[in-house]
Amino acid sequence: MFLRKTLPLLICFFCGVFAIVGFFSAEGTAINTYYEKLAKWNSIIAAFAMLLGVGNLIRVNFIKITRNHHDKIYCAILIASLLITATFGILGGVYPTKIDPANPQLMDFFKNKCAYIFEYMMKPMQSTMFSLLAFFVASAAFRAFRAKSFEATILLVTAFIVMLGRVPIGTSIWPGFAGISEWILSTVNMAGSRAITLGAAVGATAACLKIILGLETRYLGGE
């Protein structure tokens, strides 16, 4: 019980309190220096988390392939693409001098393949996904912007003015649409965005305090 629950809670408590004190401490003090060193551990934890995610991705898709899942072809393509991209990226992008300094042609090969994958595969697929997302957004907006109530009418009119102010045809109809649209985005929309951000920050702070104080233990495998 001590190793599975009490010790992790103590480590979480002391690390959380140390991070809070170190963040608000003056720069150059001893506690701030150790806090900055502790903050660098985030990169190490993120690296292990990424490795864990990649391993889990390979495991899940490999199980689907072995069990003759109906998406096994796509699973195989995903695993192959992951391994090929990681190989070219590591050998040609991150550590090119580790390959063979006496063989620059091999380094250029990995560099060119890494650039080719990014320029001619990643970018077109990203453009395709964003293009499809635009149609989904338009469909959702068509269903949402229906003047069934007073609030929906305000939303519809505001969205109509903003869209007219952001496209050339709107300014051709009336140049004032651009100014009104900019005012809505920089004043009204910004106020709502900041309110949401503040609410999310308060919620995140409350969640962190619950974890530090041991009131939230689901990350230990509990309920």
| Digit-coded pLDDT (tens) for 22-51 | 888 888 888 888 888 888 887 888 888 888
Whose CA is closest to 21, among 29, 9, 207?
29
Which residue type, as a one-letter code, is found at position 146?
R
The pTM (predicted TM-score) of the whole model is 0.56
Which range scores top for mean pLDDT: 11-20, 34-43, 70-79, 91-100? 70-79
151-155: long-range contacts, CB 8 A cutoff, minimum separation 24: none
pLDDT value of position 47: 84
pLDDT value of position 102: 55
Mean of the pLDDT values across residues 11-15?
87
d(CA 182, CA 162): 8
- pLDDT band at residue 183 using 50, 70 and 90 as cut-offs: very high
d(CA 223, CA 218): 5
